[in-house]
Amino acid sequence: MGKSNPLRTENNPVIIKHVTYAYKQFLLCFGRHSNFWHEYARYLEEQIKTLNEKEAELIKKLVKEEATLYERATKGLMRHNLLLHFAFADFEEIRNDKKKALDVYNNLIDIGQQDERIDLTLVYIQLMRFTRRTEGLRSARAVFKMAHYDKRCTYDIYTATALMDYHCTKDQAIACKISELGLRALCLRVWVREPGIPLGRRASRRDTPTQSSCPLSVPERRIRTCAGWARENRPLDELTSLPSSISHSAHPPCPTL
């Protein structure tokens, strides 16, 4: 495209206009490919960083164009693309528009409630980290409580919350509560294994910690939450015979953190 400056001009506005026009034409045919949207946004961001203060009007124009690009992508062809939604939220957070960034996350959650292609667990984790950065740990815990009662969330939300809380407060008790809550809510098995040893070699009963033990009491590098292993190795007849009392819909009450 025009990034190589085929016009042989030193006029930045002309070069940028030439390249952005090429991107816009390209997206008319390849608008369903998220990497092209992301590349276009990255180009605009790079130009904003390289321009000097004397070109304030051009910088303001490019910032507005980048925001419009994200709006067009997340409300159009890329409505279900998590990468562009997260990039849009980061863009607004850098601009210090926290309300707009929060709206992006909330809108994505609303879309995910109606479309199973959206990984709501990842959305809640990103939202939780965003609220911790902008509002503090208490607000992040409120997001976790909201995710706890969402039936589509997996064990990852409990792992991410426990680690986040532990790194922020260094309080193992709270992290243990979150881990045990995940065990009760999802009926998952938490395995603690030595680094470098395949999981299958430690699949004996003596290596399985009890529900009361806390996986964060050992070095963090030894913590592994192996929900996938538990699902793959559980017999089919055992899955079908699970009592309804431990189904995913039966959530234990979320403790006060």
Q: Is the pLDDT of residue 3 over 90?
A: no
pLDDT in tens, 113-134: 888 889 999 999 999 999 999 9
CA distances from 174 to 21, 165, 187, 221 (A): 53, 7, 19, 19
pLDDT for residue 251: 54
Total residue length of the chain = 257
Query: Does a structural domain hold residue 111?
Result: no
Asked whether residue 232 is assigned to any structural domain, the reply reads: yes
* Count of domains observed in the chain: 1
pLDDT at 238: 39
15-57 confidence digits (pLDDT tens): 888 899 999 998 999 989 999 999 999 999 999 988 877 788 8
Q: Is 136 exposed, middle or buried (0-12, 13-18, 19+ CB in 10 A)?
A: exposed
Does residue 191 lie in a domain region? Answer: yes
CB 102 within 8 A of CB 129: no
Residues whose CB falls within 8 Å of the CB of residue 185, separated by 6 or more in sequence, listed in order: 148, 158, 248, 251, 252
User: pLDDT per residue over 180-217, tens digit each?
Assistant: 888 887 764 443 333 333 434 444 444 444 444 444 44
Q: Report yes or no on 22 lying in a domain.
A: no
Cα gap 41→242, rounded to integer Å:
48
Q: Is the pLDDT of residue 247 over 60?
A: no
pTM: 0.71
Per the structure block, which two tokens stand in for 13? 């506005």
Residue 52 lies in a domain: no
Token digits of residue 65: 């164009």
Residue 75, in any domain of the structure: no
In a domain, 123, yes or no: yes
Residues 6+ apart with CB under 8 A from 15: 2, 5, 7, 9
Domain presence at residue 70:
no
Q: What are the counts of helices (DSSP H) followed by strands (DSSP E) for the chain?
A: 11, 2
Residue 129 belongs to domain spanning = 119-257
Give the CB-side neighbour count of residue 140, counting CA atoms within 13 A: 23
* For residues 211-225, average pLDDT: 42
Q: Residue 60 has what pLDDT?
A: 92
Share of the chain above pLDDT 90, in %: 45
Q: Is 82 helix (H, G, I), strand (E, B) or coil?
A: helix
Per-residue pLDDT tens digits for 63-106? 999 999 999 999 989 999 999 999 999 999 999 999 999 999 99
